Amino acid sequence: MITLSRLLSFLPLSWLHALGVLLGWLTWLFSPTYRRHMRENMVLALGEAEAARIRTAAIGETGKGMLELPRIWLRPLAETASRVVKVSGWELVEAASRRGKGILYLTPHLGCFEVTAQYLSTQAPITVLYRPPKRAWLQAMIEAGRAREQLHLAAADLSGVRTLLKALRRGEAVGMLPDQAPRAGEGRWLDFFGRPAYTMTLAARLVESGASVIMVWAERLPAGAGYHFRLQPPTQPISGTIEQRAQQINHEIEHLIRQCPTQYLWGYNRYKRRRGSEPPPPVEVGRA
**pLDDT, tens digit, for every residue of 110-161?**
999 999 999 999 999 999 998 776 676 667 777 766 678 899 989 888 899 9
pLDDT the model gives residue 286: 46
| Nearest by Cα to 43 from 194, 189, 152, 186 | 194
pLDDT one-digit tens code per residue, 188-244: 999 999 999 999 999 999 999 999 999 999 999 999 999 999 999 999 999 999 999
Is the pTM above the cut of 0.85? Answer: yes
- Please determine, for residue 278, whether its predicted confidence score (pLDDT) is greater than 90: no
Percentage of the residues of the chain whose pLDDT score is greater than 70? 93
In this prediction, residue 284 carries a pLDDT of 57
Residue 279 vs residue 197, higher pLDDT: 197
The pLDDT of residue 98 is 96
User: Could you tell me what percent of the chain has a pLDDT over 90?
Assistant: 76
Domains and CATH numbers, the chain: 9-263 (3.40.1130)
pLDDT band for position 281 (cuts 50, 70, 90):
confident
Say if residue 276's pLDDT is above 90.
Answer: no
Residue 257 has pLDDT above 80, yes or no: yes
Q: What is the mean pLDDT of the chain?
A: 91
Nearest to 232 by CA among 90, 130, 35: 90
Tally of residues, the chain: 288
Average pLDDT over residues 71-81: 92
**Span of 28-42, 75-89, 126-140, 153-167 with lowest mean pLDDT:** 126-140
Instruction: Give pLDDT, residue 285.
Output: 42
Weakest-pLDDT range from 55-64, 179-188, 190-199: 179-188
